Amino acid sequence: MVTMEKEKINRLDTKFIDVLNKTHLSKEEKREQYKILHRAKKQEGIKFSGKFGKVPTSMFDDKSIRSQSLALYTYLSANAHGWKYLDFNSKIIAGRFGLSKFMKKEIDGYFQELIDNGYIKIVKKWMSGKSEFYDLSFEDYSKDFSKVYTEDIYKITGDLNSPKVFSVISAYAAIKSTLYEDKSNLNEDSGIVYASASLLEDRSKLSTGTFFTARRWLTDNCIISTIKANLSHRQGVKKNYYSLYSEAYGLERFMIRAWIDNRINYVSEGVVVDNPEKINQEILKMLV
C-alpha cells in the first residue's frame, strides 16, 4: 500500500516538475515561471470588516455603462453607510484615486452616467467655496447585489496612483460578483469558482489585454487568487479558477485533488504549493 502511494506521488511530482522545468525556457524565464506558480500564498491573520459595497447585477450587463462608471459605483458603494454616500466631490475622488485634478471632468462624466441610468440619485447638493458636494442614494441597494469588501477597495486605491485604478476596480468587481453569484460553478466547500475570460471581460467591460493586466495586478497584490489549468478531458482546453486571496490555500488543495482525479493535466499559471515535501504530505493525507 505504501509503495503504491509513493508511485502515485512520484507521478504527481513529475507533473509539478514539468510545469517548473519547461525545456524551452531560459533560466531567468524559469525563475519567473516559478514566481508565478507560487505567487499567492495563504495570508495569515487577515481580517475583513462587516462593511461591504454592493454592485447591482444588472450593471454588469448594461451596455450603456462604461468600465470606469462601474468602477466608480463600486468605490462609492464600498464607502456607503447603508444606502447613502456623503459628501461626494469629484475633485476629492480624483485625489483619493491618486489622479490629477484635471481628471475631475472625466469623473463628473462617469458620475452623470450613473445618474442618467438610475443607479444613483442625488439626495442633496450644496456648495463649499467653489466646489459642489452631494449626498447620494443607491437604487435597489438591498436587492440583488454582489458583495465587495471595503478593505479590498481601499487597498486598490491606496496602492494604485494612476488611471489604471478604474480597470483594476472593474475587474475586481466582475470577479468578486462571479464568486458570489455563479452558484452553478461555485465549489461551496472551498469558495472557488471557474469562469471564462470572455465572461469576465464582458462583465468588467474591459478589453482582453486590459482585463488580463488588471487581473495580474489583483493577483500580484494578494487580493484575488487565480489558477489557469489545462483540462484533461477536453484536449488541453484552459480553464481559469478564482478565489479570494484569503482562500488561496483552499485553491491549492483543490488543484491537488484535481491532479489526483486526472481532471487537469497541469497548471499553466497561478498558485501551487512551492515545497515538494508539503505537496507529498498533502497528497498522502488525501490518499488515506
Q: Cα–Cα distance between 133 and 126 in angstroms, integer?
A: 5
Find, among 269, 279, 207, the residue nearest to 239 by Cα: 269
Residues 248-255, mean pLDDT to the nearest whole number: 74
- As a dihedral over the C-alpha atoms of residue 183, residue 232, residue 8, residue 245, rounded to 10 degrees, the angle is -40
CA 25 to chain CA centroid, Å, is 28
Find the range with the poorest average confidence among 83-87, 91-95, 170-174.
83-87
- Pick from 99-103, 155-159, 171-175, 192-196: least confident: 192-196
Which helix (H) or strand (E) covers residue 172, if one does? helix 164-181
- pLDDT reported for residue 224: 86
Does pLDDT of 94 surpass 80? Answer: yes
Region class of 198: left (phi > 0), else alpha (psi between -120 and 50), else beta: alpha
Q: Which of 75-89, 107-121, 125-139, 194-208 has the highest mean pLDDT?
A: 107-121
Q: How far is the C-alpha of 135 from the C-alpha of 277, rounded, in Å? A: 56
Query: How many CA atoms lie less than 13 Å away from 218 in the CB half-sphere?
Result: 30
- Round to whole Å and give the CA distance between 63 and 121: 20
Residue 69 pLDDT > 60, yes or no? Answer: yes
Residue type, 230: N
Q: What is the pLDDT of residues 1-56, one digit of tens each?
A: 333 333 333 333 444 455 545 556 666 665 555 454 443 222 223 333 334 567 88
Q: Per-residue confidence at 247, pLDDT binned at 50, 70, 90? A: confident
Q: What is the pLDDT of residue 58?
A: 85
Percent of the chain having pLDDT more than 70? Answer: 63
pLDDT of residue 188: 45
Task: Label residue 164 by pLDDT band (50, 70, 90).
Answer: very high
Report d(CA 126, CA 136) in Å as an integer.
12
Q: Which comes out higher in pLDDT, residue 257 or 11?
A: 257
pLDDT at 278: 55
Question: Which pLDDT score is estimated for 251?
Answer: 77
> Looking at residue 117, what is its pLDDT?
93
Mean pLDDT calculated for residue range 227-241: 74
Q: How many other CB atoms sit within 10 Å of the CB of residue 232?
A: 16
Q: Give the domain ranges of the chain.
A: 2-45+150-287, 52-145
pLDDT range class, residue 231, cuts 50, 70, 90: confident
* Mean pLDDT, the chain, integer: 73
Q: What is the pLDDT of residues 108-124, one digit of tens each?
A: 999 999 999 999 999 88
The rounded distance, in Å, linking the Cα atoms of 237 and 186 is 19
| Correct CATH for 52-145 of 1.10.3470, 2.40.10, 1.10.10, 3.30.2030 | 1.10.10
Distances (CA, A) of 262 to 43, 83, 265: 28, 48, 7
Selection from 49-58, 83-92, 168-177 with the highest mean pLDDT: 168-177
pLDDT for 159 equals: 84
Does residue 66 register a pLDDT over 90?
yes
- Pick from 58-62, 89-93, 94-98, 257-261: least confident: 257-261
Q: Is the pTM of this model over 0.95?
A: no
Nearest to 179 by CA among 120, 237, 250, 110: 250
Counting beta carbons within 10 angstroms of the beta carbon of residue 245, is it exposed (0 to 12), middle (13 to 18) or buried (19 or more)?
Answer: buried
